[in-house]
Amino acid sequence: LSIFSSFPTELRCSGLDWYEFGEFCYKPFGDKKTWHDAQDSCRSQGAELVSIRSMTEQSWLESYLYMGMYVENQRREQEDVKVENVLKSAMTFTYWAPGEPNNHDGFSEDCVEMLHQVGGFWDDKQCSEEYAFICEKSRPDITPPTNPPTPPPAQGCADGWTALPHFRHCYKVCSGFNR
């Protein structure tokens, strides 16, 4: 049973259990791993741990538990994060639970989980804790199919007849017919 079983598989996201939403393809993993092991698993599939960028994306992913963010310097207004590709970037969207992030009991809680039981809010956690996770990769663009050029009629056209491009028949325009 897939944890995404209620979502249809989209053709643009190739491979088993990849699902399209917006500009990305997502693959959930039910096995629990540390943040670093989850990141390695995603990268082995040409993806990164999910990084939530909007409330729309948050709502779609809300029932799943682990986000791929590493909080480097926690501040309430705007967190500097080390996102999956290990580059620092300013988070433009956050969904922290009340009182989070908090480094509970003085622990270095530098990773983020999504709290399924409290509306999908975020909680800071130790990166050594294990959680289920979701990988994401950019959705491939679909190139519309191109039709091969239509070959001219096999015998060519008789004198006075014309083969129009993209048609397999010969045509002749006549005038002066009376009914």
Asked if residue 45 has pLDDT above 80, the reply is: yes
Arithmetic mean of pLDDT, 71-83 = 36
Higher pLDDT, 118 or 79: 118
Asked if residue 48 has pLDDT above 90, the reply is: yes
Which pLDDT belongs to residue 73? Answer: 38
Contact call for residues 66 and 38 (beta carbons, < 8 A): yes
Q: Which domains does the chain have, with CATH numbers?
A: 19-138 (3.10.100.10)
Which pLDDT belongs to residue 80? Answer: 33
Name the pLDDT band for 72 (thresholds 50, 70, 90).
Answer: very low
Which pLDDT belongs to residue 22? Answer: 87
Arithmetic mean of pLDDT, 34-49 = 94
Q: How many residues belong to the chain?
A: 179
pTM for the structure as a whole: 0.60
Which of 18, 101, 21, 100 shows the shortest CA–CA distance to 62? 21
Q: Which residues of 39-73 are buried (b: 16+ CB within 10 A; e: fewer)?
A: bebbeeeebbbbbbeeeebbebbbebbbbbbbbee
Contact call for residues 160 and 150 (beta carbons, < 8 A): no
Report the distance separating Cα 34 and Cα 47, nearest Å.
17
Name the pLDDT band for 20 (thresholds 50, 70, 90).
Answer: confident
